[in-house]
Amino acid sequence: MIINHPILGPRDAQEFTYLGDASLIERPDPQAENADETFHDYVYLRDNPAGEHQELWYHEQGDRSWLVVTRNTLTHEITDVQLARDAARARGRSK
Amino acid sequence: MSDMTVNSGVAFTSDRAAKGTAKGQSHRLTGGLVERAKPLSFTFDGKTFQGFEGDTLASALMANGVKLMGRSFKYHRPRGVLTAGSEEPNALVELRSGARQEPNTRATVAELYDGLEAKSQNRWPSLEHDMLSINDKLSNFLTAGFYYKTFMWPKTFWEKLYEPIIRRAAGLGSASGEEDPDVYDKGFLHCDLLIIGAGPAGLAAALTAGRSGARVILTEEDFLLGGRLNAESFGLGDMSGMDWVGQTQAELAAMDNVRILPRCTVIGSYDHGVYGAVERLADHVLAPEPGKPRQILWRIYSKRALLCAGSTERPIAFENNDRPGIMLAGAMRAYANRWAVTPDQRVAIFTNNDDGHRTATDLIAKGVEVAAVVDTRADAPTVEGTELFAGAQVVDTKGKLGLEWIRIRTASGVTRDIPVGALGVSGGWNPNVHLTCHQRGKPEWREDIAAFVPAGDIPVGMSVAGAANGAFSTSAALRTGADSAVASLAALGFDVAPADLPEAEDAPVNVTPFWFVKEGKGRAWIDQQNDVTVKDVKLAHQENFRSVEHLKRYTTLGMATDQGKTSNMGGLAVMAELAGKEIPQIGTTIFRPPYTPVAMGTFGGRSRGKEFRPTRLTPSHKWAAENGATFVEVGQWLRAQWYEKPGETHWRQSVDREALATRSSVGICDVTTLGKIDVQGADAATFLNRIYANAFGKLAVGKVRYGLMLREDGICYDDGTAARFAEDHFVVTTTTANAVVVYRNMEFARQCLWPDLDVQIISTTEAWAQFAVAGPKSRDLLRKIVDADHDISNEAFPFMGCAEITVCGGVRARLFRISFSGEMAYEIAVPTRYGNAMMEALMEAGEAFGATPYGTEALGVMRIEKGHVTGNELNGTTTALNIGLGRMVSQKKDSIGTVNSRREGLNAEDALNLVGLKPVAATEPVVPGSHLMAETGEVHAKTDQGYVTSAAYSPHIGSSIGLGFLKNGSARMGERLRAVNPLQGQEVLVEVVSAHFIDPEGERLRG
């Protein structure tokens, strides 16, 4: 596969390490009352869609950017690639 | 090419001069694309033959009248060549000898070279007299699924008896068992348009694309470009097919933007326009030139691809259709036209389509007697120069080691025996759709040509032209090739017109599907490579293996080196008929890469032996190697395991000496392999507070703290230290094994979880050489190294201090007062380039104290004595509570893993605790991996109390000692347990003790 890195352009997927579902960005609030439940779900539950999937790839053999890649799990078509930092901010993460 | 004669059409019997140079080549015709001026000598089963440059092994054997080339897989039936290409199921040989011996090489694609050695396979004692042909008589017992039915009982017989016998009897070639002496490379290519196959479609496409200026790669599995144009007698415009190929190739070769790769097979289509290809650079010579690779595995990145892979002829099944001499009609024609050979001087044709007639016409033109054309179609057109049997079938054959006659049933129902030495069979042609299916494409049936064509999800960016897309005529191939190139390039923004194309034959496909002859009780082969007959398919159907994938696995139809290129369709057709369905309803099995077999060496490339992965050397490697070190692989690193001194005969002597010397004076160990991560920024402390389970916010500048990292599920995964050099600057160390993972996770936290923290990180593992200097004399030693303006007294630089200093008169260094051994100890870091010199300097400075270099073994002994955990204890299942650091997990702040570490199951009352273990009898060993059981009672998983994680002989304690996890272990000091190791039948009585065998109060550290 080829991932179109937002900074570096098209790169072979071999340069990347795959992590999984981009929902891992949404780490729950540890202070919340039901944190034990939300952290359980955060660690153990994933959607496994046959189709479009947002997932985390790490450019380990490159510039060490984490990316959020939107990939169709059936066709491997990649429709969007963002820096994970930007995606995280868009999801409300900051400090 | 100029001195080759092309399809002159002169009969071989009339050209005595040509025969004269073809020494012993009784079946050589005139014309063809072989270089008669370049005779080549080769051997087959030890017998010497002559062929010509341009021959394959198959054509050269045929030229010499050799029909028998192998024995079949299961029944050991005599077999000859079926095809003239990479789809060959029968003519498999062992090529070369010695370390280069290569089994299962297809004689049809093995280019002849002078000195070629080939041996037949799967026969004993010889090809002509094969003892195991007895299997043929036992065929009733060796039907589909016989493995599953016959050898079920008794179970133990399988491994010891059945399998070895079957493996010997039903086999292909043998490997040399020696290391492959050749090298294989991997390479990367990029192009706008990849054209796969250089037949008429591929050449027309390349010509069109080449003229546009686009970057083009043209691959061809054959050693000649041209595809079927080399095998046919018709011309293109006013040229012969071959001359047109030559002219086109010359034009392409002159284009800088076109790369032509002959002898290069595209083996797979992968995502996003990536293709795998194997180029055979030196398979056609005795051995590669020194230093040159034999093959290259290319990864081709293409913006567009055009598949022009042509088509493969399919046989018709009939009784005893596997005798040597029976081959595909198109192959027979290729042998005659391209290689100027014929399997026999009297042949017949069996066909269901017009293409079979071409073979008859071409062979007649070459002076070969065509005794009959047997056409299943009642309305078959006549052929001049031979007898046509329309509406007839071949129903049986005879011949011992080769075909002697065929029996036909004519349209009127009578049988007739015709003596012939060869039979060309044509059941029509199948487009080579394979690469279109590598990404879930499902080919579609086209009734008008009775074949599957590419359809559905063909790979993105791929188009298909020519026969591969069902455009069978030469004219259609040229036209679709050029048009597809125009379309592909237009999508990339190139404006180009189709190349000028010559006039070419444009015969319609005239085929009436006919798959197998129903008459006869004997066996009719569908898959000759796996000895699968029509009966086997029927049996599978009868036993309810009705999905096409099940049929494949049960009968083995379509498996092995040819992957059913000539047989799959036949199997589908029989199945469809039995199921009362149409072929498209049955569907095909899934086509998977590789298209043709690839040697493991090619996939391995240069990554073998020592080069399998990188080897990382520590900065003091040179010194260590010069000073008796034995090295051990630690991940990619080579580390000194121990240093042997003269007179030491056992590694334990060296290790005990190193540990004792360190504890009594001073030892030095290269610890560079530990991961180092530089963390900087205003929020560096906040960041580390979230990475480590314990608190880091209040760590003073100039201090180091031990840190424990959890996974988000609450399990420990790494530990190390963080040294604070400034408010906004920390240096983190990780374990050797997790250096990469910790860094990756820190980047994840920094970019994905807390993107606005002001923190930057960088790995500096390889930037700093780091040495542990441990033992009561460590400070005295360091005083001789550290520049005088740095005070390293206990008061100025106490336990867990850190500082940026200079050593040896101004060399930049970092000093940490940390200890893994439990002794007063330091770690000193200098820029890597000074590493080896630093080791020398430390040893020189330590001479007065008997400074001793120590390796990973002594390091391990001392850390076990001190009760420090490593990967054995942080094994991915243990919590902070388990390793005795439960209270370190700060509950006042959030860090990764904190929430889940509170889970009830991880905090049970009888949770495992880290303990020390000592054998009751000092002579007995504690064995890592042993499980802890009560002193008496049953040894069983349900009575399991824990397990031993680490053990070593402790020269200080004077016995073997261990660390382990024991249920509620902290409360069980002094208890006796059995450490049992059922795998080795070992049982050792041990006593539970503190994990701190040495200096439990930690006084030595602070000295």
CATH of the domain at B60: 3.10.20.440
Domain presence at residue B646? yes
Residue A71 sits in a domain whose CATH number is 3.30.2270.10
| Residues of chain B neighbouring A94 (CB-CB closer than 8 A) | 754-756
Report yes or no on B967 lying in a domain. Answer: yes
- pLDDT score, position B171: 63
Whether A52 is in a domain gets the answer yes
pLDDT of residue B984: 87
Whether the Cβ atoms of residue B606 and residue B613 lie closer than 8 Å to each other: no
Cβ of B115: how many Cβ atoms within 10 Å?
12
Same domain, B265 and B296: yes
State whether ipTM is beyond 0.95. Answer: yes
A72 interfacial to chain B (CB closer than 8 Å): no
Tokens 């790839």, located at residue: A57
DSSP state of B130: B
Is residue B927 in some structural domain?
A: yes
| Residues A14-57 pLDDT 10s | 999 999 999 999 999 999 999 999 999 999 999 999 999 999 99
Has residue A63 been placed in a domain? yes
Instruction: Determine, yes or no, domain membership for B260.
Output: yes
Please name the member of A12, A43, A56 whose beta carbon is closest to the beta carbon of B752: A56
CA distance A81 to chain B (A): 14
- B783 and B684 assigned to the same domain: no
Contact between chains at A40 and B712 (C-beta distance less than 8 A): no
Chain B hits for A30, Cβ within 8 Å: 894, 898-899
Q: Are residues B793 and B751 in the same domain?
A: no
| Dist CA B946 CA B952 (whole Å) | 18
pLDDT tens-place string over residues B439-488: 989 999 999 999 999 998 899 999 999 999 999 999 999 999 999 999 99
Question: What's the number of domains chain A is made of?
Answer: 1
Inter-chain CB proximity A85 and B751 less than 8 Å: yes
Report the largest interatomic distance among the alpha carbons of chain A, rounded to a whole angstrom.
44
What pLDDT was estimated at residue B137? 77
pLDDT for res B166: 63
Rg, Å, chain A Cα set = 14
In a domain, A9, yes or no: yes
Question: How many domains are there within chain B?
Answer: 5
Residue A25 lies in a domain: yes
- Nearest CB to B755; choose among A17, A60, A88: A88
Identify the pLDDT of residue B174.
83
Report the 10 Å Cβ neighbour count for B741. Answer: 16
The 3-state DSSP class for residue A25 equals helix
Q: Do A93 and B754 touch (CB under 8 A)?
A: yes
In sequence order, the 6+-apart residues with CB closer than 8 A to the CB of B296 are B184, B185, B186, B187, B278, B279, B281
Residues B648 and B775 in one domain: yes
DSSP string, B287-325: SPPTT--SEEEEEEEEEEEEE---EEE---B-BTTTSTT
Pick among A11, A24, A45, A64 to test the B interface (most B CBs inside 10 A): A64
The domain spanning residue B923 has which CATH number? Answer: 2.40.30.110
Which two structure tokens, joined as six digits, stand for A31? 């202070």
Each residue of B179-227: pLDDT tens digit? 999 999 999 999 999 999 999 999 999 999 999 999 999 999 999 999 9
Type of residue at B268:
G
A–B interface: beta-carbon pairs under 8 A: 86
A24 touches chain B (CB under 8 A): yes
Any domain includes A69: yes
Residues B781 and B727 in one domain: no
Please check whether residues B704 and B819 belong to one and the same domain: no
Nearest residue in chain A measured CA to CA from B760: A64
B756/A77 touch (CB, cutoff 8 Å), yes or no: no
Mutate to test the interface with B, among A81, A85, A91 (most CBs of B within 10 A): A85
Phi, psi (5° rounding) for residue B666? Answer: -160, 140
Residues B968 and B840 in one domain: no
What is the C-alpha separation between B241 and B33, in angstroms, rounded?
12
**What's the CA gap between B50 and B87, in Å, rounded?**
25
Q: How far is A52 from chain B, CA to nearest CA, in Å?
A: 16
d(CA B814, CA B942): 51
Inter-chain CB proximity B272 and A1 less than 8 Å: yes
> Is some CB atom of chain B closer than 8 A to the CB atom of A58?
yes
Give the DSSP H/E element, type plus range, for residue B651.
helix B651-664
Question: Residue A23's closest chain B neighbor by CA?
Answer: B752
Residues B188 and B140 grouped into a single domain: no
> How distant is the Cα of B561 from the closest Cα of chain A, in angstroms?
28
Per the CB < 8 Å rule, is B753 touching A93?
yes
Q: Which of B457, B460, B898 sits opposite A30 (nearest CB)?
A: B898
Closest-CA distance, B751 to chain A, in angstroms, reads 5
User: Is position B573 within any domain?
Assistant: no
Interchain contact, B439 vs A30, CB within 8 Å: no
Is the CA virtual torsion B545, B547, B553, B558 positive or negative?
positive
pLDDT for B133: 80
Any alpha helices (H) in B178-280, and if so which ranges? 200-212, 241-253
Report if residue B97 sits inside a domain. Answer: yes
Is B982 a member of any domain? yes
Q: Which residues of chain B, if any, have pLDDT below 50?
A: 1-20
Q: What's residue B7's pLDDT? A: 36
Kindly list the residues from chain B whose CB atom is less than 8 angstroms away from the CB atom of residue A59.
none
Tell whether B301 and B254 lie within a shared domain. yes
Chosen from B899, B900, B907 to mutate, greatest number of chain A CBs within 10 A: B899
Q: Which chain A residues contact residue B271 at CB under 8 A?
A: 1-2, 13, 76
B387 touches B375 (CB < 8 A): no
Q: Does A35 touch chain B (CB under 8 A)?
A: yes
**B659 and B697, same domain (yes or no):** no
Give CA–CA dist B307/B464, Å, rounded: 5
Measured between beta carbons, the chain B residues lying within 8 angstroms of A36 are 899-900, 902-903
Convert the pLDDT of each residue in B388-398 to its tens digit.
999 999 999 99
pLDDT for the residue numbered B131:
77
CB contact under 8 A, A39 and B712: yes
**Are A94 and B712 in contact (CB < 8 Å)?**
no
- Asked if residues B744 and A82 have their Cβ atoms less than 8 Å apart, the reply is no
Tell me which residue range forms the domain holding B101.
12-146
Q: How far is A56 from chain B (nearest CA, A)?
A: 9
CA distance B523 to B320: 6
Q: What are phi and psi of B931, to 5 degrees?
A: -105, 150
Closest of B91, B127, B132 to residue B110, by C-alpha: B91
Nearest in space to B8 (alpha carbons), one of B474, B246, B368, B365: B365
Shortest Cα–Cα distance, B700 to chain A (Å): 23
Across the interface, whether the CB atoms of A94 and B457 are under 8 A apart is answered no
pLDDT of residue B849: 97
- Residues B975 and B996 grouped into a single domain: yes
Under 8 Å between Cβ of B587 and B624:
no
Best B712, B752, B759, B904 residue to mutate vs chain A (most A CBs within 10 Å): B752
- Residue B457 to residue A75, Cβ atoms within 8 A: yes
Query: CA-nearest residue of chain B to A76?
Result: B271
**Structure token pair of residue B98:** 């010695």
Domain boundary (B123, B146, B169) is at B146
Residue B445 β-bridge partners? B452
Phi, psi of B408 (to 5 degrees): -115, 150
**Token pair recorded at residue B255:** 């284009």
Looking at the complex, report in whole angstroms how far the Cα of residue B712 sits from the nearest Cα belonging to chain A.
Answer: 7
The Cα of A89 is separated from the nearest Cα of chain B by a number of Å equal to: 7
Predicted local distance difference test score (pLDDT) of residue B126: 84
CB within 8 Å: B683 and A94: no
B273 contact residues in A (CB cutoff 8 A): 2
- Which uninterrupted H or E stretch holds B710? strand B703-710
Q: Domain holding B713: CATH number?
A: 3.30.70.1400
CB contact under 8 A, A93 and B271: no
Adjacent-strand bridge partners of B726:
B729
Question: Residues of A2-31 as b/e, b for ≥16 C-beta within 10 angstroms?
Answer: bbebeeeeebbbebbbebebbbbbebbebe
CB atoms inside a 10 Å sphere around CB B300: 23
Q: What is the nearest CA distance from B584 to chain A, expressed in angstroms?
A: 24
Q: Are B748 and A30 in contact (CB < 8 Å)?
A: no
Burial (Cβ within 10 Å: 0-12, 13-18, ≥19) of residue B539: middle
Whether the CB-CB separation of B834 and B780 falls below 8 Å is answered with no
Per DSSP bridges, beta strands B802-807 and B912-919 are unpaired
Q: How high is the mean pLDDT of chain B?
A: 93
Q: Which of B457, B712, B899 sits opposite A36 (nearest CB)?
A: B899
**Owning domain of residue A48:** 2-90
Report the alpha-carbon distance of residue B128 to residue B125 in Å, rounded: 9
Residues of chain A found within 8 Å of residue B898, distances taken between Cβ atoms: 30
Residues of B with CB under 8 A from a CB of A: 270-274, 301, 439, 457, 460, 683, 686, 712-713, 740, 744, 747-748, 751-757, 894, 898-900, 902-903
DSSP, collapsed to helix, strand or coil, labels residue B907 as: helix
